[in-house]
Amino acid sequence: MIVSALMMRWALVLVCAVALVAPASAQQNASARARPASSSEIMERVNENTVTIVSGTPAGTYLAVAYDMAAVLDKEDELRVLPIASRAGVANVRDILYLRGVDMGIVQSDTLTLLKKTGQFGPNIDKRLVYITKLYNEEMHVIAGPGIKTLQDLNGKKVNFSDVGSGTEQTTRIVFDLLGIKAEKVSMGQADALVKIKSGEIAATVFIAGRPASAIAKLPKDQDYRILPVPYTPELEEASYLPATLTSEDYPNLIPDGEKVETIAVGAVLAVYNWPQNTDRYRRVANFVNALFSKFAEFQKPPRHPKWREVNLAATLRGWERFHAAQEWLDNAASQTASPVRINPTLARQQAARAAPGDVAEQERLFRQFMQWVERQQNQ
């Protein structure tokens, strides 16, 4: 009896102890769950799936396109896209190659040819700088003042080539050399240049951006401003530039209703450093590529920039190598369409028309290129 009483007393003490400890343990677990994340944990989570895109100036199209990518693709901690404003051009290549924290950038398609020629960033630049996709074509805008009617009128005159190191400066130098235009080069932002055209201090300014370029579209009706035509010559065709057209719908204050101005265009390219496949930087860019390509249809809807409607993800670039993750995604997509799903030729032609407006020959070339690429993928 005494033993039984003692056992019952110890059992009661044990039950009470468990009753006291259990709530304490639960409270500790709840407290641990409610504990704010440490700085190091936040830092790791924020950086794990973040990518950066160096783009262009607020006056151009690059920055707007980069912001579109952030708006469509950002998804909490799964992916974050950070657009970075810049001068564009060769400066963007320098940042992609050397600036810590920069993953990608938008550059012009003639950049790689120029860098191979100059050797500015060393040998094998085409193996270090690769592309994810061609984006769209950027049109050359030449805005001139009174008395200037053709590009030939700019010989010996002061012309703004835009900011030093910019994509506009780079392409203007190449194009003017090919066309034999001997202008006196000056360098400044587009806002300053437009003021100096008005005052007569310079004859014209050149701006290369996807139409409609906001800096030009915002100009009021003014007889002192005009957009000059740029002739499409065999020399420009050989250098891989494309014919293009600016219309009154693009710039109603500068081009009379129903009229158009012929010009040229250069491709905009989403470029990236050729990260090795076993690196974290490769993983993050591959994560971005999968999201961009998978959600591409969202970019062709309002309110995204109208230039997205010209993009053909499968378009190839002469002289460029595609980033492995991007090529892998396209190959997988093509293999899936090899079954019951068929490519609609009408839609493919419409896509080609958006990519090369006003140029029937280029539209046909793009259409055939895309259909041949699809056929090759289906036969693999």
- Three-point CA angle 354, 357, 361, nearest 5°: 105
Collapse the DSSP code of 328 into the 3-class scheme (helix H, G, I; strand E, B; otherwise coil) and give the result. Answer: helix
- 125 phi/psi in degrees, rounded to 5: -60, -30
Q: What is the pLDDT of residues 103-158, one digit of tens each?
A: 999 999 988 888 988 899 999 999 999 999 999 999 999 999 999 999 999 999 99
Task: For residues 314 and 135, give the distance between their C-alpha atoms in angstroms, rounded to a whole number.
Answer: 10
Task: Return the percent helix, strand and coil in the chain, to nearest 5.
Answer: 45, 20, 35
Q: What is the pLDDT of residues 1-48, one digit of tens each?
A: 444 443 444 443 333 433 334 444 445 554 545 567 787 777 777 778
pLDDT at site 114: 85
pLDDT at site 22: 42
How many CA atoms, within 13 angstroms, populate the side-chain half-sphere of residue 312? 26
pLDDT at site 47: 79
CATH code of 45-336, in short, is: 3.40.190.10
Q: What is the pTM of this model?
A: 0.70
- 276: cis peptide before it, omega within 30°? no
- 64 phi/psi in degrees, rounded to 5: -65, -40
**Axis crossing angle, helix 345-355 with helix 360-379, rounded to the nearest 10:** 130
DSSP output for 128-152: HEEEEEEEEEEEEEEEE-TT--SGG
Q: Within 10 A of 29 (CB to CB), how many other CB atoms are there?
A: 10
Only one residue has tokens 């641990």, namely 32
DSSP output for 159-189: EE--STT-HHHHHHHHHHHHHT---EEE---
Q: Which residues of the chain have pLDDT under 70?
A: 1-35, 337-348, 350-351, 354-356, 373-380
Q: Is 209 left (phi over 0), alpha (psi -120 to 50) or beta?
A: beta
- 212: cis peptide before it, omega within 30°? yes
Collapse the DSSP code of 288 into the 3-class scheme (helix H, G, I; strand E, B; otherwise coil) and give the result. Answer: helix
Give the DSSP H/E element, type plus range, for residue 156.
none
pLDDT at site 33: 52
pLDDT at site 299: 95
